[in-house]
Every structure is written in C-alpha cells, then in structure tokens.
Amino acid sequence: MAEHTEGMRDITFRINRFNPQVDNKPYFDDYTIPVEKGITVLRALNYIKEHVDATVSFRAFCQAGICGSCGMRINGISKLACTTQVWDELERCKVENVVKVEPLRNMPLIKDLIVDMDPMVDKMKTYSNWVESIMPEEKMGEKEFLIAEEEFQEYDKATDCILCASCMSECSILRANKAYVGPAILLKSHRMNVDSRDGAHNVRITELVKDHGVWDCTHCYRCQETCVKNIPIMDSIHGVREDALLTRGVKDSSGAKHAEAFMEDIAKKGKLIEATLPIRTNGVGWTLKNLLPMAFKMILKRRTPPPPPLVKPSKNIKKFREEFQEMTAHVKRDQKDHINKSGE
Amino acid sequence: MKRYAYYLSCINESMTKEVDKSIDLWQKDLDIDFVKLHESTCCGGSNLDYVSPKHFALVNGRNIALAEKLGLDLVTSCNTCLLTIRSAKKVLDESPELREEVNGILKKEGLEYKGTSEVRHLLWVLNEDVGLDTIREKVKVPLTNYSIATFYGCHILRPSTILGKENPLDPTSLDDLVEALGGKTISYEHKNKCCGFHTLLVAEEESLSVASEALGEAIESKADFIVTPCPLCHTVLDGYQTKALKQANIKKSIPVFHLSEMVGLALGYTPRQLGIKRHMVT
C-alpha cells in the first residue's frame, strides 16, 4: 500500500535488468522505495543500489547535469537521471506510481542501464569531430586566434553538448540503421565546420555527404525536442546541408539533388513537380526498380501526380518569377560581398 | 461564418486530392469558409530553408502576405507546410532587416508581410475555433464502432519552439476530435512518432522501417484504422504501406484516413463522396 503523506511517497522503479553472462534477454525488476519530494531519479537509483540491490548497474558521475554520463530512458523518454525529478515523472507514469527506467536506445546494451558509447565515439573519429588547427604546429603559442562575436554565436549553443547521447537514443533513422551518422555527430560536425580556426571543413563535408550521412536525416525533430541542453540540433543539421550545397558545392548525392529540385520547381512553376522528383533524385534506373510496381496500382487509383506539362503554375506566376529572380540577384550580391570581405 | 485563407499544399493538388475534396464538402456544415489562395506557391517542403534561406523567406513571406491582404489567418492541412511557413514567419518576425528586404521585393505585387496573420493547422481550427461541442452537435454518423489509432506526424508537434500548441510527448488534440466524432482512440506509443516521409527518396529502406514500426504497432493494438492530419504521413502509411509491411514481414494491413475524411464520414458523407476509394489500402 503506497504511503501518501505530503512530500513523501512509496514509488516503484521498474528497472531494465540484463547481465549478458547469465541472461538471454533483458527483463524488468521492480523496486519500491520511499521517495521524498525533490529527489532526482539518480538519487533514487543510488538509494536502490545502496539499500536494496547492489547489483543494479548504471553509469553516473557529476550529479549536476554536466558530465552527460547518466543518460537513460525514464518513462520512455531519453534524459539525464540526475536532472530529472521523480515528482515530475509521476504524472507521466503509465501505471500509477511506477517509474519505468530503461537504457538508451540505438546503442549496444552492456548491462542493466549501461550502453556501449563506443559506436558514437567511433563516428566522432570518422567525421573528424575536432578542430584541426590551421596554425602550423611550430607557430602555436606565438599568436592567438581572434574570434569575432558573430562567429562565436554560430556555435555557442552547440558547445553546450555534453555527449549524453539522448538525441542518438531518440533518433528515428538511427533506430532504422545503426550506420547512420546520428544527430550528436552532425551537431559537432557543424560546430567544427563554422569555426574559423579549423582547416578540415572539406574533409568533413566530403564524409558527411556520403551514404548514411547528413542527407539521411528525416526531419522528425525528436533529437532537438529531447536535447537535455535545449540545443537546436536541427539548425546544425540544416547548417551542414546548406554548407554542402552553397559553400562547398558538394552536390553529387541524391539528398542534394532532391533538395535542389524544390528550388528549381518553385522558380519555374511555384509548385512542386512531383512526378519527376524520384527521377531527378535517383535517376531512371532506381525509379523503375523501386517505384514501377507501385505506379501501376497508383494509376488505377488515379493517385499518380500529374506529368510536368499538366502541373498548373500558381496564379500570377509571372510576377512571382520576377520576385524570385530579384531575390536570386540579392543572394548573388551577398555571396560576392562575403567573398570580398573574407579576402580582405 | 468564420473565414480563413486556405493554403494549397502541392501534395493535395496532385497525389492526395481527396483532402481538399473532403474539406470542400463539409466546410459550410461547420460554418467555416476557406478562401483558397491560388496565388500561393510551394512552401519549400522543409528543404528550401537550407537550399536558400533568403528565397525561403521571400516565398513564405509572400504566402503569408497573401492571407494578410485578405485580413485572414492562413490555414493549411499539411503538417510540413505548417512547420515550414511558421518557421519562415519566426525568421521574418525576428529580423527587421530581412523583413525589409522581402517587403522591398513584394511591394511590386502590392503585397507586404506585416506579421499580422497567424499560420494554423486545420486540426487547430477545428478544435479551437469551431469547437468540440459544436462538432459533437453536428455529427450525423458517430464513429461509435471504431477503435482509431491517431497518428499526429512530426511537424504539427516538433519543434515545440515553433509549433508549441501542445505537449509533443503527449498530444491530445486529434484524440479529442476523434472522441467528439464519437470514436474511441487506442493508446499506442507511435502516435507522436515519425512516418519517415522526408527520406523516402533518399534512404528508402530506413524510411520504410520507420513507417512499419508505426503501422505494426497500430495493427497490433487492434485499431480499425489510423487517422492522420498530414497528407505526407498518409502517403507513407497508406501509399507505401504494402512495401513497408513486406520489408518488416508483417502480414496484415490497416486503412489510413485523412483527418478531413474522418470528419466527413462523421458528418454523413459517403466514402465515395470523400474520395476514400483513391487510397492504396482499402
């Protein structure tokens, strides 16, 4: 029977258990303990480990939301145990007063609530997630880098990342394919790419536009919504894409072609020309192989998008085209200004 | 009668024509009037913003300015159009310089982006303006016998900094509407998750895996059908369903309705009138 005095309750923690040496698959153990209002999930886990079952395993260190060690899924959402109040979780419990605690997703499980972070670290190596200094080693220490406030603003938020991997755990595409780069790596990659001290932009971008890279993000925004530091991760993902398309002209990928088709179609008709989008993205061969079987049924259901000549342009398209072209002139002027400025 | 400027989404003009067809049927029944913006253009479908941020601001500043000229809020029935146009609105509202640049171009067409019109989803209009009580009164054929899996789609929930209408972890607006129409909703984890649409042409296998997880859970939960407020989610969950379920080795199937069709059914229109026969899964 749960105790209900004000500020104190008996709460059950339903904890994922798995010891690869004895268990075939993970299971849950319930631990019911008295919890005071104001207690975090991490302190509750510590209590269980100290007073109830010493074998419960989890990773934790700073207890202050700084080190990123205690990322886990609490009532189904990836977050830090040390900054999550048990009391706040009570209204989110599927079973009254039962807080479910599970390991992060999308990474190999080692034991109970501990996952293997190595795949994430390996990806940080693959995508050169560090500043490769443009200053020759022999010159280091002689001269400092001066960073403009404007530049710092571009990566200020990204430097808040504590690598807790909550975003990786929530990522829709990483769940579908573990080879996908993942949001934390894209965030860091962009942070390095916009740093003027760094000289590895081109190496990084070349890697990022390959298969399982930046173009595989499906824009679900779950990474951003779950970020424990409220970092707008999608801004960085879009930043990498913008960088690949505009600044460095890495356009030879289906993702880049797909994105640019939108620009072309809007400029032409003000509408997306959906019928040829698969061909423009992936070529004729891919389209025939992947979409032809569906196309027959779609024709029967009159569900196929109209062929390009039949896509009716938006009303007043002439005026719109003039406006669109005028903005193109503005963008070209901006790019010229930017080149002149950086050449000074 | 409440009036709104209705934004024409590319997909509803081509592949999912049944969405606007359904709305045309019942809008007067709910005392609303959607004025179609034939001059509006594609929002950029969550791509134009990084292909060219300035064109993105121009195109969507113009889309909103068309509604502002009529003195009406802009309403869309596509989640991605909603997020995209709201993102542009945020950028324009926060940057006087960009607003001035965009307006410098738009004035040739007699348009000006002022920031006075809201950008809203059809679902929000039904819940907030028409109201669930009114909808309840107008129902002719309650969806009493159906268990319905609500599938919100990402871009009506996340990022909450731009959408912010309800808790993305536990949305209720679509469930509330289903209940007002007399239906029962099932509880399942994927209701606020992703359909995989935006990578269908770039990473098809991954997209279909994302879709099949949602479809699989809805089937498992014994729902009679899925309902979604987004034609892009519908395109994956219905159009690509056979392919997705085959990839995941799931033998069953489940019909997927648009929000506008579900409202139409409850208001007494026939599946034929609503264009439901155009679905790939029937």
Backbone angles phi, psi at A54, to 5 degrees: -70, -10
Q: What does the pLDDT look like over B228-270, one tens digit per residue?
A: 999 999 999 999 999 999 999 999 999 999 999 999 999 999 9
State the best of B10, B63, B165, B172 to mutate against chain A, taking most chain A CBs within 10 Å: B10
Same domain? For A160 and A223 the reply is yes
Instruction: Residue B231: list chain A partners with CB under 8 A.
Output: none
Of A155-169, A273-287, B193-207, least confident by mean pLDDT is A273-287
Q: Which domain holds residue A90?
A: 4-114
- CB of A17 within 8 Å of any CB in chain B? no
**Looking at residue A1, what is its pLDDT?**
46
Is the Cβ pair A76, B189 closer than 8 Å? yes
Report the residue from A282, A301, A323 with minimal CB separation from B105: A323
Average pLDDT estimate for A141-164? 94
Q: pLDDT digits over A74-98, tens only?
A: 999 999 999 999 999 999 999 999 9
Domains B2-121 and B140-278 share a fold: no
- Minimal Cα–Cα distance from B118 to chain A, Å? 22
Strand order in B256-258's β-sheet?
Answer: B184-185, B147-150, B225-228, B256-258
Q: How many domains does chain A have?
A: 3
- Stated pTM of the model: 0.95
Res. B87: pLDDT tops 80: yes
Mark whether A30 and A95 lie in a shared domain.
Answer: yes
Residues 317-336 of A with CB under 8 A from B: 319-320, 322-324, 326-328, 330-331, 334
Plot region of B31 (φ>0 → left; ψ -120 to 50 → alpha; else → beta)? left
Which residues in B lie closer than 8 A to residue A326 (C-beta atoms)?
105
Give the 3-state secondary structure of residue A148.
coil
Residue A204 falls inside a structural domain? yes
- Quote helix, strand, coil % in chain B, to nearest 5: 55, 10, 35
A193 and A225: one domain?
A: yes
Residue A329 in any domain: the answer is: no
- H helix intervals, chain B: 10-14, 18-26, 48-51, 53-70, 79-94, 96-106, 122-124, 132-138, 173-180, 204-220, 231-234, 241-247, 259-266, 271-274
Residue A4 has pLDDT above 60, yes or no: no
Specify whether A241 is located in the same domain as A297: no
- Chain B residue with minimal CA distance to A236? B50
Nearest Cα of chain B lies from the Cα of A206 at a distance, in angstroms, of 17
What is the least distance, in Å, from the CA of A86 to any CA of chain B? Answer: 17
Co-location of A186 and A223 in the same domain: yes
Q: How far is A74 from chain B (nearest CA, A)?
A: 13
As a whole number, mean pLDDT of residues B97-105 equals 98
Q: Who among B41, B199, B239 is closest to A271 (CB)?
A: B41
Task: Answer yes or no: is A293 within a domain.
Answer: yes
- Residue A253: pLDDT over 90: no
What gap in Å lies between CA B245 and CA B215, rounded to an integer? Answer: 8
pLDDT class of A247 with cuts at 50, 70, 90: low
Contacts of A176 in chain B (CB under 8 A): 196, 205-207, 209-210
Smallest CA–CA separation between A103 and chain B, in Å?
17
Q: What is the mean pLDDT of residues A35-61?
A: 98
Mean pLDDT: which of A54-58, A132-136, A337-341 is highest?
Answer: A54-58
Query: What average pLDDT does the segment A256-266 reach?
Result: 92
Which among B108, B197, B280 is the nearest to A323, CB-wise?
Answer: B108
A276: in domain = yes
Cβ-contact B196, B231 below 8 angstroms: no
Instruction: Name which of A138, A134, A129 is nearest A147 in CA terms.
Output: A134
- DSSP structure class, residue A104: P
Mean pLDDT calculated for residue range B8-20: 96
Best residue in A91, A102, A172 to probe B by mutation, most B CBs within 10 Å? Answer: A172
> Could you give the 3-state DSSP secondary structure of residue A61?
coil
- Cross-strand bridge partners of residue A11: A33
Is A242 contained in some domain? yes
Work out the minimum CA distance from A217 to partner chain B, whole angstroms: 7
CB contact under 8 A, B52 and A239: no
- Topology of domain B2-121, CATH: Glutathione S-transferase Yfyf (Class Pi); Chain A, domain 2 (1.20.1050)
- Name which of A176, A238, A274 is nearest B210 (Cβ-Cβ): A176
Question: Mean pLDDT, to the nearest integer, of B132-155?
Answer: 98
Judged by a CB distance cut-off of 8 A, whether residue A280 touches chain B is no
Q: Mutation test of the interface with chain A: which of B6, B12, B15, choosing the one with the most A Cβ atoms within 10 A?
A: B15
Nearest by CB: A245 against B51, B160, B207? B51
Query: What is the CATH number that goes with domain B140-278?
Result: 3.40.50.11810
Show residues of chain B in contact with A252, CB under 8 Å. none
pLDDT at A341: 78
Pairing relationship of beta strands B225-228 and A114-115 according to DSSP bridges: unpaired
Residue pointed to by tokens 């989404």: B9
- Residue A133 DSSP code: B
Indicate if the pLDDT at residue B110 is higher than 50.
Answer: yes
Residue A232 contacts B, CB cutoff 8 Å: yes
Kindly give, in sequence order, each residue whose CB lies less than 8 Å from that of residue B44, ignoring residues fewer than 6 positions away.
A262, A263, A266, B51, B55, B56, B59, B60, B84
If you average pLDDT over residues A262-267, what whole number do you get? 94
Residues β-bridged to residue A27: A17
DSSP output for A284-344:
HHHHHHHHHHHHHHHHHTT-SPPPGGGSPPPTTHHHHHHHHHHHHHHHHHHHHHHHHHHH-
Same domain, A244 and A273: no
Look at B108 and A265 and tell me if their CB atoms are within 8 Å: no
- The Cβ of residue B187 has, within 10 Å, a number of other Cβ atoms equal to 10
Dihedral sign (CA B246, B247, B253, B257): negative
| Pair A245, A182 in one domain | yes
Region B40-57: mean pLDDT is: 95
The pair of three-digit structure tokens given for residue A12, joined into one six-digit string: 């059950």
For residue A217, give both structure tokens: 């993000």
The pLDDT confidence band at residue A158, using thresholds 50, 70 and 90, is very high
Kindly list the domain boundaries of chain B, sorted by start residue.
Answer: 2-121, 140-278
**Are residues A176 and A279 part of one domain?**
no
Amino acid identity, residue B121? H
Q: Which two tokens stand for residue A290?
A: 């992947």
Q: Is residue A305 part of a domain?
A: yes
Do A129 and A238 belong together in one domain? yes
CA distance linking residue B153 with residue B194, whole number of Å: 6
**Cβ–Cβ gap A222/B193 under 8 Å:** yes
A245 and A260, same domain (yes or no): no
Assigned domain for A79 exists: yes
Token match 């324009």: residue? Answer: B92
Does A281 contact B202 at a Cβ distance shorter than 8 Å? yes
Of A217, A262, A327, the CB nearest to B51: A262
The verdict on A93 touching B (C-beta cutoff 8 Å) is no
Report the complex ipTM: 0.96
The answer to whether residue A332 is domain-embedded is: no
